[in-house]
């Protein structure tokens, strides 16, 4: 018997050929797959770039570690550079030896001036850029590394503000050790001295101690052009009076950009009083001509170029002698200066000019217009004071620092006017950077200030040695 016909069963058992896709279908699939792979690669690269950007931003966002003290020492008394911390170290030590870490908040771009800055010397390379050297934070526990508190500050706006700077790793003058004075020729070459000698040729980033022959002490240093000149002396002074007991003096010079100190030709024998009496000597430089004020009143001069021969002027006698040294190494007797190669000035104490004590007679001013060949008495200060410093500039401007203040003359010393009274003790130093601008260092370092004039010495304003 035939089974009934079942169409569904027949369809299920029938071989069916699959339908082919439209032409180009597989090519489209492959193209889409390639595009998908490219998008994934771009996204991966973008993610990696974003991560790198985050890392870069994280590095940039780290604040610079700015030390808060002046004497960022990179050399020690033996001239060895201080070792830098390893790159992996998260801590940096300042000159006080106190470790500190990077802060997460923005900080100043320049180091701050340490507290209680006691200035002992100031120098200017131009009208705006100057440096001050002294002691800072003395007695503050843990602040000064190894007890050395010598510090420096710099101004780039003529004393209106200050910031911290590297300083030699040494202390205040103490017999044969330490420094108390500073001179800069330009923004690169500078010297700290009295009694030791340190030099920098990179603006103070590092300081190198210069070996002084035969254990002598540096009592005076000046620089001009491309040469530095210094007075090396044989002394026996102790403590702060490092220049006391100096009986023999020698003039050395060195190219400003190096540390090659040699005796100035013609002066190899040095100078000193035949009796062996303690005295002082000082160097004064102008553009083209330099002068050495010697213990016996001889004025020695010569070109301000390294290797040039110097000789004594004729006659060999000055109106007064330099006398014994002050604590800073400068003469306690006659004060000597120059405003031009042949224009010289000298302030002489009454003990050498009138035979009387200075408490009853004022000091006398002498000038020379021919390089010391002859001298003329110009006048006297208006009242008795102890003159500690004499400065001159073109136009007949003279200024003296005294035990009571500052006095200024506009006519080569014929007439004087006291333009600054005080502070207590007066001033140890006054200098004229230009006919209109000058700076003075007070005798009382506890005031933590310098005084500036921008009006030819007719008025003076204090400048606090602090940041900001």
At 50, the pLDDT band (50, 70, 90 cuts) reads: very low
At 63, the pLDDT band (50, 70, 90 cuts) reads: very low
Q: Six-digit token pair at 90?
A: 């998260």
The residue among 111 and 368 whose pLDDT is bigger is: 368
The span from the CA of 369 to the CA of 334, in Å, is: 18
The residue among 262 and 109 whose pLDDT is bigger is: 262
At 104, the pLDDT band (50, 70, 90 cuts) reads: very low
At 85, the pLDDT band (50, 70, 90 cuts) reads: very low
At 40, the pLDDT band (50, 70, 90 cuts) reads: low
The model's pLDDT over 191-222, given as tens digits with 9 standing for 90+, comes to: 999 999 999 999 999 999 999 988 899 999 99
Give me the pLDDT at residue 24, please. 52
| pLDDT at 146 exceeding the cut of 80 | no
Average pLDDT over residues 5-27: 47
Q: Compute CA distances 117 → 100, 148, 401, 436, whole Å.
A: 22, 13, 21, 27
Give me the pLDDT at residue 276, please. 83
Average pLDDT over residues 416-445: 96
At 121, the pLDDT band (50, 70, 90 cuts) reads: very high
Give me the pLDDT at residue 269, please. 82
At 313, the pLDDT band (50, 70, 90 cuts) reads: confident
Q: What is the largest CA-CA distance in the chain?
A: 168
At 32, the pLDDT band (50, 70, 90 cuts) reads: low
The span from the CA of 155 to the CA of 125, in Å, is: 11
Report cis status (omega within 30 of 0) of the bond before 120.
no
Give me the pLDDT at residue 76, please. 36
Residue length of the chain: 468
Average pLDDT over residues 245-268: 94
| Angle, CA 336 vertex, CA 331 and CA 338 arms, to 5° | 150
Give me the pLDDT at residue 92, please. 20
The residue among 130 and 317 whose pLDDT is bigger is: 130
The model's pLDDT over 319-354, given as tens digits with 9 standing for 90+, comes to: 999 999 998 888 999 999 999 999 999 999 988 765
Q: Are 444 and 424 in contact (CB under 8 A)?
A: yes
The model's pLDDT over 155-199, given as tens digits with 9 standing for 90+, comes to: 999 999 999 998 999 999 999 999 999 999 999 999 999 999 999
| pLDDT at 77 exceeding the cut of 60 | no
Q: Are 118 and 445 in contact (CB under 8 A)?
A: yes
* Residues contacting 159, CB < 8 A, separation 6+: 130, 439, 450, 452, 463
**By three-state DSSP, how is residue 317 classified?**
coil
At 138, the pLDDT band (50, 70, 90 cuts) reads: confident
Give me the pLDDT at residue 16, please. 46
pTM more than 0.85: no
Q: Percentage of residues in the chain with pLDDT exceeding 70? A: 74
**By three-state DSSP, how is residue 57 classified?**
helix
Give me the pLDDT at residue 401, please. 97
The residue among 158 and 41 whose pLDDT is bigger is: 158
* Residues contacting 35, CB < 8 A, separation 6+: none
Average of per-residue pLDDT values in the chain? 80
At 101, the pLDDT band (50, 70, 90 cuts) reads: very low
The two beta strands, 217-224 and 227-234, are antiparallel
| pLDDT at 8 exceeding the cut of 90 | no
| Range scoring the smallest mean pLDDT among 75-84, 146-155, 257-266, 415-424 | 75-84
Q: Are 130 and 122 in contact (CB under 8 A)?
A: yes
**By three-state DSSP, how is residue 9 classified?**
helix
DSSP state of 158: T
| Angle, CA 242 vertex, CA 310 and CA 433 arms, to 5° | 55
Q: Six-digit token pair at 439?
A: 């700076």
**H or E element: which one contains 350?**
helix 350-353
| pLDDT at 48 exceeding the cut of 60 | no
At 306, the pLDDT band (50, 70, 90 cuts) reads: confident
The residue among 267 and 346 whose pLDDT is bigger is: 346
The model's pLDDT over 377-426, given as tens digits with 9 standing for 90+, comes to: 999 998 899 999 999 999 999 999 999 999 999 999 999 999 999 999 99
Average pLDDT over residues 112-129: 94
Beta strands in 318-464 (DSSP E): 335-338, 344-348, 364-368, 376-380, 387-393, 397-402, 405-409, 417-421, 427-432, 438-442, 449-453, 461-464
| Angle, CA 217 vertex, CA 229 and CA 199 arms, to 5° | 55
């Amino acid at each position: 018997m035939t089974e009934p016909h079942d169409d569904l069963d027949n369809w299920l058992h029938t071989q069916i050929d699959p339908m082919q896709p439209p032409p180009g279908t597989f090519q489209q699939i492959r193209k889409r797959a390639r595009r998908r792979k490219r998008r994934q690669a771009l996204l991966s690269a973008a993610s990696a770039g974003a991560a790198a950007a985050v890392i870069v931003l994280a590095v940039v966002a780290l604040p610079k570690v700015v030390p808060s003290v002046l004497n960022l020492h990179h050399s020690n008394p033996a001239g060895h550079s201080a070792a830098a911390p390893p790159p992996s170290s998260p801590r940096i030590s300042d000159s006080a030896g106190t470790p500190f870490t990077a802060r997460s908040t923005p900080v100043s771009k320049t180091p701050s001036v340490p507290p209680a800055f006691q200035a002992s010397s100031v120098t200017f390379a131009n009208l705006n850029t100057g440096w001050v050297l002294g002691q800072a934070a003395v007695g503050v526990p843990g602040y000064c590394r190894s007890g050395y508190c010598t510090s420096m500050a710099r101004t780039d706006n003529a004393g209106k503000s200050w910031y911290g700077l590297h300083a030699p790793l040494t202390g205040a003058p103490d017999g044969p050790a330490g420094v108390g004075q500073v001179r800069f020729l330009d923004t690169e070459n500078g010297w700290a001295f009295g009694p030791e000698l340190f030099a920098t040729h990179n603006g103070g980033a590092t300081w190198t101690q210069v070996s002084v022959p035969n254990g002598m002490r540096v009592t005076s240093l000046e620089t001009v052009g491309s040469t530095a000149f210094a007075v090396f002396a044989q002394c026996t002074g102790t403590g702060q009076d490092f220049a006391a007991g100096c009986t023999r003096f020698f003039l050395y010079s060195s190219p400003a950009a190096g540390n090659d100190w040699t005796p100035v030709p013609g002066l190899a024998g040095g100078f000193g009083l035949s009796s062996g009496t303690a005295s002082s000597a000082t160097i004064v430089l102008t553009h083209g001509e330099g002068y050495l004020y010697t213990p016996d009143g001889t004025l020695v001069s010569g070109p301000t170029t390294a290797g040039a021969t110097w000789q004594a002027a004729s006659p060999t006698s000055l109106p007064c002698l330099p006398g014994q040294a002050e604590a800073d190494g400068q003469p306690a007797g006659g004060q000597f200066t120059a405003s031009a190669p042949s224009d010289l000035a000298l302030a002489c104490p009454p003990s050498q000019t009138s035979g009387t004590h200075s408490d009853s007679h004022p000091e006398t001013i002498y000038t020379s217009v021919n390089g010391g060949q002859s001298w003329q008495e110009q006048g006297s200060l208006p009242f008795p004071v102890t003159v500690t410093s004499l400065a001159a500039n073109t136009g007949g401007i003279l200024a003296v620092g005294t035990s009571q203040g500052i006095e200024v003359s506009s006519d080569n010393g014929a007439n004087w006017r006291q333009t600054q009274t005080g502070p207590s003790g007066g001033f140890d130093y006054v200098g004229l950077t230009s006919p209109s601008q000058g700076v003075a260092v007070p005798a009382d370092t506890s005031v933590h200030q310098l005084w500036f004039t921008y009006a030819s010495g007719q008025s003076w304003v204090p400048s606090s040695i602090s940041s900001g």
